[in-house]
Amino acid sequence: MDYVSEIKCGNKRAFEEVYHKFHNRFYSYVLRKTASGDLAEEVVQMSFIKVWEKRTELSAIYPIEVQIARIARSLMIDVLRKKAVERSALHTIQQNARAVIDADPAADKQLVEKVHEAIESLPPQCRKIFMLSRDEGLTHSQIASHLSVSPKTVENHISKALKVVRKAAALCFILNL
């Protein structure tokens, strides 16, 4: 079957066939590169969604698996870059926090208060997910299962919470400098 032309025409059955045929292959590939089951599942799902959304732009020259592989690789790189930026920002905040706290021991108490206030200001679901992640050490999948939400929802809430906490911590440092 010519999957590319079938999918381009909007054949959902052909798309489902491709999904079932290649999902595990791409999941394994991304899992090997990222060592994260949640991230691998997210990238693969986003890849197939993008294939369907952009189906009219698929190339008849390349097999469908080649096109999905390119999309998955690009999305994986984007997600890994985003995570690297988040880690870098957190590392910078931690370094700045240590410098401020070393210079002014009272800043430690202020920082804790500001972070606590930021967490308390989060919407209830966001706060609950963040606390399950940080205080109880649950993975995104465990939280998703526990709360009957998708792992992507968990990731979105944690990302939102981290932005609020980082902003509060950064503001605290700026005011103390």
- Interval 13-43: pLDDT, tens: 999 999 999 999 999 999 998 888 888 888 9
Q: Let me know: does 50 contact 68? Beta carbons within 8 Å.
A: no
Structural domains in the chain, sorted by start = 3-79 (1.10.1740.10), 104-176 (1.10.10.10)
CA separation for the pair 140, 129 (Å, rounded): 9
Q: Let me know: does 42 contact 80? Beta carbons within 8 Å.
A: no
**Two tokens at 141?**
């999948």
Sign of CA dihedral 142, 34, 40, 31: negative
SS3 15: helix
Residue-by-residue pLDDT tens, the chain, 177 positions: 789 999 999 999 999 999 999 999 999 999 998 888 888 888 999 999 999 999 999 999 999 999 999 999 999 998 888 877 777 766 676 666 566 556 555 556 777 777 788 888 889 998 898 888 877 888 888 888 888 988 888 888 888 888 888 887 776 656 554
CA separation for the pair 116, 171 (Å, rounded): 14
